[in-house]
Structure 1
């Protein structure tokens, strides 16, 4: 069974979607190296339609990307949760229509499945107890408003399995969900 990893850039106060508090280069080269390590372990990228369309409109056009993100996103098997998307236009991409298809994906052989951005899909995955691990890049910002990683009423018992602080002030916190914790 594959692990489904939710990776989010998040503020100290738990916000993952609000305004312009985050920029990809804000974390520095050490954060980029941590992302590269994650990309090396993941052979599936799960996202929602809106995030997919935003990524599709930007990353394939990056011809001189020293980060490696463009190369990774152009080659990785992408899965898009959508009831409306018909033609992804960015291969290799598979459209998933419901959470049962995500469960089947998790049951298949392969590396990690990473879900980044896509707050609506992330909330659905959390509610369906499909998340095995959270990798949270915590940025030293407080925005006090915006959509949060965990919606109201969503209680989670997590086990901290790793923490790394970077010179930029960003901290990477890795948590296993208790239900999916291999050590429990």
Structure 2
């Protein structure tokens, strides 16, 4: 093997004959998925869910759509399903954030001081509002806000129609704005930093 495969589809295809090639996907995406899972479930579950995401991906790689441009939505989709299994833990954690106002992951993500101050002030209310969303709405909102997914990537990851992504995102944003009683632009900025 001379270097990493040129595309995710090539890496997955090549891994069918040379399983070690699948490690290139891990190298490309594991850190991002780990951060996303940490933000959703906390640091205690992140290692396990990230590992399980890649284990499931490796075991099901024959079913990967080779015409896909990137394996990123596929991997996040697997992670989202695993996160869904731990929904009760996630809701308990979000309620704890709402009570304490402390999100240990947000500290490492803050890049702008003023955004950080706004986010800290809204963190308790935001966590409580997130805990009150349905699992489907929360998945869509957090993939857009925390994983920086496009609507199409969310649809691919969750295996739902694009229209469903739009309606869930609209509903989730409306519920968050109502819960926070905040300026809509401020709410979205706080979500991205938090």
Q: Is TM > 0.5 for Structure 1 vs Structure 2?
A: no
More strand by share: 1
Larger Rg computed on CA atoms: 2
More helix by share: 2
Greater relative contact order, per chain length (Cα 8 Å cut-off, separation 6+)? 1
Tell me the TM-score normalised to structure 2 length: 0.25
